[in-house]
Amino acid sequence: MLYITKQGIHAHLNRLQRQNEIEGQLLVLIAEIRKEHPTMSMRSMYYKIDPPQMGRDKFEFFCIGYGLKSQRYRTPFRTTDSTGVKRFPNLIEHLEITGVNQVWVSDITYFEVQGKFFYLSFVMDAHTRFIKGYSVSKSLRTQDTTIPALKMALRRQRIQPGLIFHSDGGGQYYSTEFLGLTTRYKIQNSMAKEAYQNPQAERVNGTIKNNYLIHFQIKTYEHLTKVVDRSVYLYNHHKPHKSLKYLTPNEMEQKSYICDGQSADGEKSLAANFAVFGALSPFTAGQSASGSNVMSANLIKS
């Protein structure tokens, strides 16, 4: 009667779902930006974030609609439970984490380079603090952030069905593509409602940015990608953790595999890949020669 086909209806629903995913992640990202830049204008945030498929005026109306203007800012996490947004229960709230590959935690953060935001996604084992996968991206799209990070983690590990993947409520963690990947590997999705319910992922974001990245004069996306590769390697293999009784995440991984009677082949291949390729991120993993190869070679020698 309305001259709308079934295909048109499904196309509309798909566009609505993609928009909900983007807006859900934007709310989380803007909250993080507000912590460091409480008075940054909406327009300045727009040009730094450069949200996909959202123009300047629409972004500003979006911020106003959620009360995200600097003078009347309130925590946006309470407003993200909107129509079309999926929510999963917090499966780790009262869970005792006792072994490797029992719980992976993840989050997306931003890093500013020459006035432009790029996005870092990490997947870390909650027991060993080992960063299993990560990505560096120019956009907030699911296929550029959470999916490459999770795929990297899955390539390195032999996981058992029932692994819990815990994240915040960002749109990239409930997109159709991401849920298809977790379903394929029988991974349980878990979500935090507030930032304090995902503290390990928040902490690793801060550690990589503040203990490693800010000490380099990073000027390009390509340079950022290589520095993140190096930083993750150093974090995993050379940084002792007080919570691990001053073992490194890699040492804790090896110890946990031995205690569980599992093979640590995945982590051996991880180190081997770094030694051979240097850069492990999706951008540089396919390159046969790069600056990070030299960097990794120096690390191996040292």
Nearest to 46, CA basis, from 32, 31, 35, 30: 30
Extract the tokens encoding 238.
Answer: 């050379």
So what's the pLDDT on residue 70? 66
Q: What is the mean pLDDT of residues 290-298?
A: 39
Judged against a pLDDT cut of 90, whether residue 270 lies above it is answered with no
Judged against a pLDDT cut of 80, whether residue 143 lies above it is answered with yes
Extract the tokens encoding 77.
Answer: 């996490």
- Of the pLDDT bands very low, low, confident and very high (cuts 50, 70, 90), residue 45 is confident
- Read off φ and ψ for residue 157, nearest 5 degrees: -125, 150
So what's the pLDDT on residue 273? 42
So what's the pLDDT on residue 85? 56
Q: How far, CA to CA in Å, does 214 sit from each of 19, 100, 208, 218, 278?
A: 32, 30, 9, 8, 21
Task: Tell me the three state secondary structure of residue 121.
Answer: strand
Concatenating the DSSP letter of every residue in 189-202 gives EEE-SSGGGSHHHH
CATH of domain 103-296: 3.30.420.10
Judged against a pLDDT cut of 70, whether residue 161 lies above it is answered with yes
| Beta strand residue intervals within 77-174, DSSP E | 103-113, 116-125, 131-137, 164-167
Q: Where are the domains positioned within the chain?
A: 6-79, 103-296
Would you put residue 115 in left (φ > 0), alpha (ψ -120 to 50) or beta? left
So what's the pLDDT on residue 280? 45
So what's the pLDDT on residue 149? 97
Beta strand pairing status for 116-125 and 131-137?
antiparallel
Amino acid at 51: P
So what's the pLDDT on residue 169? 80
Instruction: Quick: pLDDT tens for 10-24.
Output: 887 877 777 777 777
Judged against a pLDDT cut of 60, whether residue 25 lies above it is answered with yes
| Maximum mean pLDDT: which of 82-86, 115-119, 184-188, 285-289 | 184-188
